[in-house]
Structure 1
Amino acid sequence: MPESSRTHLVLIPSYNTGPKVFETVREARAQWNPVWVVVDGSTDGTAEELQQMAQADAGLRVWVLPQNQGKGAAVMQGLRTAAAEGFTHALTMDSDGQHPSALIPAFMAASIQRPETMVLGRPVFDASAPLLRVRGRRVSNGWTQLETLFAGIGDSLYGFRVYPIEDLLAIMDRQPWMRRFDFDTEAVVRLAWRGVKPVNIDAPVKYLSADEGGVSHFRYGRDNVLLTWMHTRLMIEFALRLPSLAWRRLRGAPPFQR
């Protein structure tokens, strides 16, 4: 097992993914120490077994929220505890087996080398990727590029990434959004506005079939409405920022700065 890091941890929010979460956690633990899991009100019985796994593994810790609050809220729970214990960065990954655990060390190394950045996974799709999801992603990425003045964010939705904890908590504490499916996209936009630069690393993404244990909680109607509302809010806020951004440009200063 890898040695324990005092600055960087793996944070896995989980909601009703069934047995696939156990495989994800084992693979993550084989690559990194520590690994934390926040069970977001799951009703599939996985919380109990995850807690048993943690009792036998000092590098694994599990928190169980009493009811489902959303991905962003689950991540925020983990970030608060991590900050209180002195951690500076967290790699977030989904619990459903879509993200490449084998790349955890490479992403952590990139973050350790440039701790002032956010290290973002740039998805590499295979034939399993639903075409509708891929096309919808392009739309969201286009809005993200505009909202951040083309700051170089390779992908706005892929949740396999390393965040600077202090910066992300500062953003989330100031507003009530980013608690559900809107978390991943809004996080990178607001971090870019804060002056946190992106580092993009290609990473494969797998869309598992039901026979492979794949579980998806994405709902096209509900979640696209949420994303549309999110981008509307961000564009309004971006428009309000334009005068100050233009003034900074005239003075030769970066538009977004820490």
Structure 2
Amino acid sequence: MTPSSTHLVLIPSYNPGRKVYDTVRAAREQWNPVWVIVDGSSDGSAEGLMAMAAEDAGLRVEVLPENRGKGAAVLYGLTLAEAAGFTHALTMDSDGQHPAAAIPAFMARSVAEPDAMVLGVPQFDANAPKLRVRGRKVSNGWANLETLWMGIGDSLFGFRVYPVAPLIAVMKKQRWMRRFDFDPEAAVRLCWHGVRPVNLPCPVRYFEAAEGGVSHFNYLRDNLLLTGMHSRLFAGFLLRLPLLAARRLFSKTRR
């Protein structure tokens, strides 16, 4: 597969379990290059991934010495990607929930609309936890309010293509965008930055523990993180409201 000089797949990974190897292989079947940022994993996956990379020129593995959080791992990868000349990065989880088969379609849409971010809108199967499916509607509602309904189809789903330079610029100004709540804040702040969202449906699968599924989601801790994040974003939204309203009005008058 001819390597892309502009778009890469970026996979942050923290103690993902055995599914990570299938995830990376599947991503490599669909795209070149694929980079994995091991975020201080202690489950032995770093060694296995590095062995894979030693035999695959299209796979790069970077290992952080300690767990810094998903946002921090993504930012580390983005910084390396920008230095290497890449303009866009598709992020996906390492635990097998995100479908590698969707990578080409998302990349093609990004190539066609390079100024946009391409957001996956999850299509849940019967195994999806009902509480999490319902709960994400709250975050989505806040995200759309905070952007005056610019069109964020799903704020939490981490399968998406980001333009690298705008996201780095946003994250460098917001030093708290380093943990689990990185995804929704990135979508909102990029909208504020003028990056238009494009939504594509995308299947998602939740694996049981017996199937090798691993989840680090903690309902209390992570919902408190999301609550604090949206409180922070809503305050920023109020300050930006006149500008956002003017932008929305201008966009409508141009149609």
What is the TM-score with the length of structure 2 in the denominator? 0.96
The alpha-carbon distance between structure 1 residues 246 and 184, as it changes in their structure 2 partners (threshold 3 A), is: closer
Shift of 1:247: 5.2
Amino acid aligned to 2:137:
R
The alpha-carbon distance between structure 1 residues 247 and 145, as it changes in their structure 2 partners (threshold 3 A), is: closer
**Aligned residue number for residue 155 of structure 1:** 154
Shift of 1:244: 3.5
Shift of 1:89: 0.2
The alpha-carbon distance between structure 1 residues 19 and 156, as it changes in their structure 2 partners (threshold 3 A), is: same
**1:103 corresponds to 2:124:** no
**Aligned residue number for residue 9 of structure 1:** 8
**Aligned residue number for residue 222 of structure 2:** 223
Where does structure 1 differ by over 6 angstroms across 4 or more consecutive aligned residues? none
Q: 5+ unaligned residues in a row in structure 1: which ranges?
A: none
Alignment of 1:35-184 (within 5 A): 35-184=34-183
Residues in 1 aligned to 2:247 and 2:174: alpha-carbon distance in whole angstroms:
25
Equivalent in 236, 240, 250 of residue 253 of structure 1: 250
Residues in 1 aligned to 2:76 and 2:172: alpha-carbon distance in whole angstroms:
12
Q: 5+ unaligned residues in a row in structure 2: which ranges?
A: none
SS in 1 for 2:250: coil
The alpha-carbon distance between structure 1 residues 211 and 248, as it changes in their structure 2 partners (threshold 3 A), is: closer
What percent identity do the matched residue pairs reach?
A: 68
Shift of 1:253: 2.6
**Partners of 2:30 and 2:103 within 8 A in 1:** yes
Shift of 1:248: 5.3
Amino acid aligned to 1:90:
A
Shift of 1:188: 0.3
Amino acid aligned to 2:206:
Y
Residues in 2 aligned to 1:139 and 1:206: alpha-carbon distance in whole angstroms:
21
Shift of 1:3: 1.4
Residues in 1 aligned to 2:244 and 2:145: alpha-carbon distance in whole angstroms:
13
Residues in 2 aligned to 1:163 and 1:248: alpha-carbon distance in whole angstroms:
21
The alpha-carbon distance between structure 1 residues 247 and 125, as it changes in their structure 2 partners (threshold 3 A), is: closer
Amino acid aligned to 2:240:
R
What is the TM-score with the length of structure 1 in the denominator? 0.95
SS in 2 for 1:253: helix
Shift of 1:241: 1.4
Residues in 2 aligned to 1:242 and 1:117: alpha-carbon distance in whole angstroms:
21
**Partners of 2:35 and 2:60 within 8 A in 1:** yes
**Partners of 2:148 and 2:244 within 8 A in 1:** no
**Aligned residue number for residue 199 of structure 1:** 198
Amino acid aligned to 1:47:
A
Shift of 1:19: 1.2
| 1:146-182 CA-partner distances (Å, limit 9, x unpaired) | 0010001100000000000001000001121210111
| 1:85-112 CA-partner distances (Å, limit 9, x unpaired) | 0000000000000001001000000000
Shift of 1:245: 3.5
Residues in 2 aligned to 1:200 and 1:243: alpha-carbon distance in whole angstroms:
26
**Partners of 2:147 and 2:244 within 8 A in 1:** no
SS in 1 for 2:107: helix
Residues in 2 aligned to 1:177 and 1:62: alpha-carbon distance in whole angstroms:
25
Residues in 2 aligned to 1:72 and 1:23: alpha-carbon distance in whole angstroms:
23
